[in-house]
Structure 1
Amino acid sequence: MTADTEVTALDLLAQEFGDIWQIMRSDAGRWWATRHKPIAGVEDVVGCSRTVDADTPAKLSQRFAEQAKLIQQAADITEILRVLETTYPGWSTTYDGHWRADRTPPITSAQAAAGVVASLSTPSYEEFTEQLAKQATLIDRCGGYNT
């Protein structure tokens, strides 16, 4: 790759991806990019990277596409968590590779006797929402979330 081609490839990559990535080429000829923003929340869990590298501009572009899918997956999970907390008040929900919910405020003795649990954790989203729905029914039978 000549110096002119190298600058053109860098310019093209920066034009397309520069709003998300700081792109550079090492003295050894390897292509690198670092995200402008740090990895946050679920992005770390799903495998987003702060820095990616590749042998060629084309391969670096592929890495950007892979990262874009992971970033979207993290955004989708974050939105699901927001909806779950709206749908099931009284639960703090997180995702760390498993779907998790912790009851806030603490459960009452009547709720515990009815089968309400302080926390849930499962790798399956479907099982998680089934468990949350079951817990909501139990809590409602005990007088609701505010009792």
Structure 2
Amino acid sequence: MVPPTNVIRQGWRVLESSEGRYWATRERPFSLAAEKAGAFRTVDANTRDELAGLIATQENIAAKVDAAASVALEELGVVITREERRLAVLRDTHPGWRIVYLPEITASWWAVRAKLTPAQRDAGVVPSLARRSGEELAAALALQDEIVHSIP
């Protein structure tokens, strides 16, 4: 892979392979409902225009599903907090981590990894993370995933 190219859409990281193929990964996970409806967090294409179209499609799927889910839950009288949604998405996106939300403490978002291999430890993967917000934890977990995926 070559270094990231300019932005096609805010919130997505775009890379161009050494063979000229384009890849994009959404910086933040979609909701669980959007993912189950077919919104992909990572897409690839032969051209930048095709990639931009695929990104727009993923965002449209997510927007429609999230709007419908919100209305349905409201009609049922179910209130799901932003933190509960974030926790569900984080757990679904990072199954190798045990993730908890403890609002009564300052660093209220925690993730603990069950086992680390020596190669993971040497590469910089950490056994636990604590952050002040779900967004900060999501970013830290994404970084840990990048490290894990870079290990030969």
Question: For this structure pair, what is the TM-score category when the shorter chain's length is used for normalisation?
Answer: 0.3 to 0.5
Q: TM-score, normalised by structure 1?
A: 0.46
Question: Radius of gyration: which is bigger?
Answer: 1
More helix as a share of residues = 1
